[in-house]
Amino acid sequence: MSIGRFVASPRVTLRGVYRGWWIVALAFWTQMVTVSAGGYVFGILILSMAADLGATQAQIVGPLLVNRWVSAGLSVALGPLVDKYGARWTMVVSAMIGGLGLIAVANAQSIVMFYAAWALFGIAQPGVGLLGPRVVVANWFVRKRSQAFVIVTMGTSGAGLIAAPLAAFVDDRFGWRLVWTGVGVLCFTIAPLSAWLIRRRPEDVGLLPDGDTPAEVEERTGGVTPAVPVVDTWTVREALRTRSFWLLTLGFLLCSMPTATIFLNISGFVQGHGYSAAIGSTVVSTYAFGSLAARPVWGYFLSRIGLHRTMVAFGMIYGSMIVLFTFQTQIVGLYIGALLLGFGISGTHLLNTQAIPDYFGRRIVGALTGFSQVSNVAIAGSAPFMTAFAYDRTGSYVPAFLFFAGACMVAAVAFFFAPPPVHPSERGGQRGDQPRPLSVPAATG
Task: Give the orientation angle of helix 41-53 with respect to helix 277-326, to 10 degrees.
Answer: 120
CA pair distance 152, 25, nearest whole angstrom: 7
Q: In the prediction, which pLDDT does 186 show?
A: 95
Q: In the prediction, which pLDDT does 228 show?
A: 46
CB 63 within 8 A of CB 46: no
Helix, strand, coil shares, percent, the chain, to 5: 80, 0, 20
pTM listed for this prediction:
0.72
Q: In the prediction, which pLDDT does 265 show?
A: 82
Q: In the prediction, which pLDDT does 302 show?
A: 85
Report, as ranges of residue numbers, the positions in the chain whose pLDDT lies below 70: 1-15, 214-232, 375-381, 427-445
Q: In the prediction, which pLDDT does 183 show?
A: 93
Angle 158-160-165 from CA coordinates, rounded to 5°: 115
Classify 18-202+227-444 by CATH class. mainly alpha
CA pair distance 22, 11, nearest whole angstrom: 12
Q: Which residues contact 166 (CB under 8 A, 6 or more apart)?
A: none
CA pair distance 44, 282, nearest whole angstrom: 11
Q: In the prediction, which pLDDT does 119 show?
A: 87
CA pair distance 243, 210, nearest whole angstrom: 30
Q: In the prediction, which pLDDT does 224 show?
A: 47
Cβ neighbours of 274 (radius 10 Å): 9
Q: In the prediction, which pLDDT does 102 show?
A: 94
- 177 DSSP β-pair partners: none
